[in-house]
Amino acid sequence: MQSQEPAALQLRIQELEAELAALRASAQEASGDIVTSAEAREEQKESNENLPLLLDEYRRYGRQMIMPEIGFDGQLRLKRAKVLIVGAGGLGSPAAAYIAGAGVGTIGIIDHDTVEHSNLHRQIIHSTSKVGMSKVESAITYLKDLNPNPTYIPHVQALTSANALPILTPYDLILDCTDHPSLRYLISDTAIILNKPIVSASALRTDGQLIVLNDPPGSGPCYRCIWPNPPPASTVTSCGEGGILGPVVGVMGVLQALEAIKLLSRPAPPEQKTTSMTIFSAFPQMAFRTLKMRGRRKACVACGEPADAKDKITKEAMEKGLIDHIAFCGTSAPVGLLKPEERVDVREYMKVRDEGKEHTLLDVRDETQFGICKLEGSLNIPYSEFESLALAEDTASKIPESLQSILAKGLPEAPIYVLCRLGNDSQHVTKQLKDAGVAGGRVFDIKGGISEWAKSGVSGPFPQY
Amino acid sequence: MASKAPPGTFKILYFSSATTITKKDSEFLPAPLALGKLFDTLDENYSGIKAKVLGSCMVTVNLEYVDIEEDAERELKEGDEVGIIPPVSSG
């Protein structure tokens, strides 16, 4: 650009710039802010002791600071705030990015997991080159590049009943970005004891939920007020099992960051408290619903006064390890319905195929999964069909004729091998078929399902999902 | 889901894991019905739903939280919209 300008004009620009620098220096001297060395002047470009923010921060946060909802004071409150993000996954990824971008001063991230390929479609702060790295380290690497100003505190560990109190204590606000009911109750109970608000979000498949809990502290509701009873462990589905669409969990994480920024930048909690839960459904037609909630539940064991005072969840009880959140939510024991001789491993089943033995391969995955990959010659009857038979007790262990005829498929006496994704549903179906006397009781479960088939490589490269 | 409840019914919306059992996201049920009888009525229609889903879910009436025990006497009226909202815990 300069080369195209006349030399005289360039010279004049240089003169004016020199004059301007001299004027600035004398103005600073006059104000008592004496800058002597060139190095100090260089530093002066990025910080000024008289200014509460770095010059970089004025530029960086300008677009949000000029909004009356945030303003300069709101920005300072964000800078002073300390936020803990529990979980650096599908919710934590976008939440952390927006919270760091907005200039929250101290950001802690806790997660014990490492980055996997199956995370990348939704956990947008991780990347292909970070597979195998701890999620916390991967997240902080990304966030430092996005905004080097905040202080980032890594916690590469699982949050447990034993460490939750000391870990949460230094923070002003907790973001629940976790993936299991036991952690949701743990975070809620700990935050109630420590008088901290929580921004809680969750997502599975095509649905999401968002709520700000215990804001202002003491007013409730807490997680237990809304859901006093955990869902039965056998019905709890993870994103790995149930599936998740990236933008669904993404939108929930972004909304979580928004609620966090609102809460931290405001001068004081609103006088008239209203708690609402936002539920998001992506299908069939996208909808957000706002549900009006109540405050603290009087008899809540965490934030209220339970009928029996012994039930109250106290700091002392937590410290003594008397509150077991994992036991409270229960664990689904590995399915062990069958005797060893009723099961075959993938290699034994490969032999059955190699030797060309007459048999039926029954794949009980749902139609969607069956559509991803399948073994040649397999017959698909989804597990849900067997499950509904088991639900109606009077017909339990009876297989309707319609299914029988599909199963027989011209091979009424040939053995049946049952396959599912991970080897749990197939055990239930094997037992049901055996109990009903199908195929003369010659029904076998294939251990570890199609996932093990792929991993073992018995039939060469096979898709893993 | 936008359709209105026909006369003599209320609308019930099922969310997340509730739809896994009902295989539908909404339907109409005969009104009036005491809130305290809702779970048993649903369990008659969907065997096992009470133990699997309802025992741990939140219920709303016309987009407002209701307490199934404290508000058991409350009557679900014609035209009401009830929400069965199990906790989503993943992320």
The CATH number of whichever domain residue B64 belongs to comes to 3.10.20.30
What pLDDT score was predicted for residue B3? 74
Q: Looking up tokens 């008397």, which residue turns up?
A: A322
Full domain range(s) for residue B33: 9-85
Residue A222 annotated in ligand binding:
yes
Q: Is A91 annotated as a binding residue?
A: no
A328 φ, ψ to 5°? -55, -40
Q: Would you say residue B25 has pLDDT above 90?
A: yes
- Is A239 in the active site? yes
Residue A435's SS3 state is helix
In a domain, B65, yes or no: yes
Is residue B3 a part of any domain in this protein?
A: no
Question: Measuring CA to CA, how many Å separate A344 from each of A79, A338, A423, A432, A458?
Answer: 59, 11, 11, 17, 14
CATH architecture of A55-320: 3-Layer(aba) Sandwich (3.40)
Identify the DSSP state of B88. P
- Interface residue B44 vs chain A (CB under 8 A): no
Global pTM exceeds 0.95: no
> Strand (E) positions, A198-250?
198-204, 207-213
Residue A463 preceded by cis peptide, ω within 30: no
Question: Is A118 part of the contact surface with chain B (CB cutoff 8 Å)?
Answer: no
Top-level class of domain A340-456: alpha beta
Q: Best residue in A183, A204, A224 to probe B by mutation, most B CBs within 10 Å?
A: A204
Name the residue among B60, B64, B89 with its Cβ closest to that of A236: B89
Domains of chain A: which residue ranges? Answer: 55-320, 340-456
Q: Is residue B19 part of a domain?
A: yes
Contact B88 A179 (CB under 8 A): no
Is residue B91 one of the residues assigned to a domain?
A: no
Instruction: Considering only CA atoms, give the Rg of chain B.
Output: 12
Percent of the residues in chain A that have a pLDDT greater than 90, as a whole number: 75
Evaluate whether A85 touches A114 at the Cβ level (below 8 Å).
no
The mean predicted confidence, pLDDT, of chain A is 89
With CB atoms and an 8 Å threshold, state whether A236 touches B60. no
Interface test mutation site (partner B, options A175, A180, A237, max chain B beta carbons within 10 A): A237
Interchain contact, A291 vs B17, CB within 8 Å: no
> Active site includes A177?
no
Write the residue in A202, A231, A393 that is nearest to B56 by C-beta.
A231
- Residue A64: CB partners within 8 Å, gap ≥ 6? A70, A75, A102
**Helix/strand/coil for A407:** helix
Asked if B63 and A290 touch (Cβ cutoff 8 Å), the reply is yes
- Measured between CB atoms, does B45 come within 8 Å of chain A? no
Is B52 contained in some domain?
A: yes
Number of separate domains in chain B:
1
Please give chain A's pLDDT, 465 residues, in tens: 344 455 666 656 666 665 665 555 555 545 544 444 555 555 555 677 789 999 999 999 999 999 999 999 999 999 999 999 999 999 999 999 999 999 999 999 999 999 999 999 999 999 999 999 999 999 999 999 999 999 999 999 999 999 999 999 999 999 999 999 999 999 999 999 999 999 999 999 999 999 999 999 999 899 999 999 999 998 888 888 889 999 999 999 999 999 999 999 999 998 888 899 999 999 989 999 999 999 999 999 999 999 999 999 999 999 999 999 999 999 877 778 899 999 999 999 999 999 999 999 999 999 999 999 999 999 999 998 888 776 555 554 567 776 777 777 667 678 999 999 999 999 999 999 888 888 888 999 999 999 999 999 999 999 999
Residue B57, in any domain of the structure: yes
Residue B1 is assigned to a structural domain of this protein:
no
